[in-house]
Amino acid sequence: MKIRRASLATCLLLAMGILPALAAQPSAKQPELTAITRATGAPRTPEQEAVVFEKADLQFKVDPANRSLHGDAALTFRATAPLTRLVVELDRNFKIDRVEVDGKVLTAQDWSNPEGRMTVDLPQPLAAGDSTTLRIRYAGKPHVADRAPWDGGFVWSKAPTGEPWIASAVQGEGCDLFWPCIDHPMAEPLTVEQRITVPVPLVAAGNGVLVGMEEKDGWRTWHWRARDPNTYAIALNIGPYEVLEGDYKSRYGNNIPLRYWHLKGNDAKARGLFAEFPLMLDFFESTIGPYPFGDEKMGVAETPHLGMEHQSINAYGNEYKRDEYGYDWLLQHEFAHEWFGNQLTNTSWDDMWLHEGYGSYMQPLYLQWLRGDMEYYANLMKQRAAVANKYPIVSGKPMLEEDVYNDEKGPGHDIYYKGSLVLHTLRHLIGDEDFFAVTRQAVYGTDKPVPGNFKPLYLSTPQYIDIVNRVTGQDYRWFFDVYLYQAALPDLVATRDAKGLDLRWKAPAGKPFPMPVQVRVNGQDKTVPMKDGQGRLELPAGAVYVIDPHSKVLRAQPHIEEFQAFRKAEMEKKAKAEAAKSGKR
């Protein structure tokens, strides 16, 4: 999850109770990020596209006393085409002390990092199929997040007991904020080793499997190993943690380690949250398929910011709040990203609705699985009230993360809530059997996933549409052309005459939209096929009818737009009053 900067749209969502309020951190003066460092997901260079990122061996020494980071990164790449240089990203505010290629120390003339995109000339050209290891030693003060996770960077905080409490949250600005990487969704390293050195008695909870911990001269080094992590999912979580441990026996026959690193003092609340782990696992495994990282762990770390989907070590900072549905929505949402984000990874930020739309749909779907239809529809209605329809969910062109998530520049929160409602509509259109078959194909590449027969994969929106068409045996491009590639929602025009009801879809840009419509007439549900976007239903004299009685179809609804306009006016009025009040002080 990534909630962008606090626009008016974000404030509206906070007021409506869809997003929790976040506390701001005091902003300190720090060097500005370059455009390259700030803009995660920029097009890769030809050199970056011509390598497979085989391994990242990362050593971090984190010093809370002066808020500094010493890094030593050995990056192994395999060339898929002849290469004479390597290109990685690293925030230029770090001082680079040493650069090596396969053990050979390079001179300052052999590399440069003027804007945060580092170019390294190779001592010897690489042929296709050859591998090489680039080692970079660097140090400095990592960029501080002013309002994590709204803005990316490090969070330097204190636990209630006084010890340092530190977290990284870099989805918005990318992995290059603290380690040299290829800052693009399609540049996941196949393996990551992390050795995180912190002062005693701090704990460093990391991605993947704990290999070991060594203690020397007042420092502890925690060694973690993970496979196929999303670039921004590699995370540092450091604090005076205690850990809750358990195991979940999967319906697929494997045992999944459960781990929760939490702060002292909230033991009862921590146990309550930990008790939700098996229930959520059972939901996802029974509804979607095997937990993708069962050979590592289901891990969660308590953090001084709201949360983030860090693979096998999700960040959790919701302060044990349960909403009106009686569960921790943040824990469930971030956990959903293990399937939709870490297992299935978007090929471009323009396809981010595949992460956030599916991740958001898992909340009402979980409530339906847990308690039935009432909470499912209540949660969907809450999402519906937040849909803005200012920009298409998918633009069809490469996009930067900041433009996708920003409500003023791109779809923003619509990739969450509109994306969720599009999936709800698709589910009812094609039926549960095909919908969940599509979802499994998108997530695992197979409709019959079992542990060991799938690997993390990349997916684009056109590829997702192809899966829908292949599974259903029909062409549903009309559905996605309207819902994903247009900003406005389709409008259903209903006209009643003496004998019946005429229905006509008015889709944006005049797009075809043959969406069937249910109508309840005197208590009986009838389906109008809507061939060519039009249909008619004969009605008895005096009949009472309700269009779409089961709320299956996402469409324009004037009463929701009126509500949104009212809330916007109220928020603007409140903001003016607060500004005037501040001006008088």
Residue ranges for the known binding site for Zn(2+) are: 333, 337, 356
Helix (H) or strand (E) holding 124: strand 117-126
Q: Which residues contact 333 (CB under 8 A, 6 or more apart)?
A: 1, 307, 359, 360, 362, 363
The span from the CA of 32 to the CA of 69, in Å, is 18
- Which residues participate in the annotated binding site? 333, 337, 356
Integer distance in angstroms from the first to the last C-alpha of the chain? Answer: 38
Q: Which residues contact 371 (CB under 8 A, 6 or more apart)?
A: 325
Catalytic residue among 138, 416, 444, 464: 416
Pair 569, 543: CB distance under 8 Å: no
DSSP string for 356-384: HHHHHHHHHHHHHHHH-HHHHHHHHHHHH
HEC profile for 239-287? ECCEEEEEEEECCCCCEEEEEEEECCCCHHHHHHHHCHHHHHHHHHHHH
Query: Where do the DSSP E strands lie in 181-218?
Result: 191-199, 203-205, 209-216
Q: Is the dihedral of CA 442, 448, 449, 454 positive or negative?
A: negative
In the numeric block, which tokens belong to residue 114? 């003027």
Q: Which residues contact 326 (CB under 8 A, 6 or more apart)?
A: none
In the numeric block, which tokens belong to residue 282? 């059972």
Asked if 32 is an active-site residue, the reply is no
Pair 487, 389: CB distance under 8 Å: yes
63-83 residues labelled b (16+ CB within 10 A) or e (exposed): bbeeeebbbbbbbbbbbeeeb
The span from the CA of 79 to the CA of 311, in Å, is 26
Asked if 242 is an active-site residue, the reply is no
In the numeric block, which tokens belong to residue 49? 């596209």
In the numeric block, which tokens belong to residue 305? 């910011």
Single out the residue of 110, 67, 69, 116 nearest to residue 90, CA to CA. Answer: 116
Catalytic residue among 334, 338, 375, 402: 334
Pair 520, 495: CB distance under 8 Å: no
For residue 496, report the phi and psi dihedrals to the nearest 5 degrees: -100, 135
For residue 339, report the phi and psi dihedrals to the nearest 5 degrees: -90, -45
Q: Show which residues are catalytic.
A: 334, 416
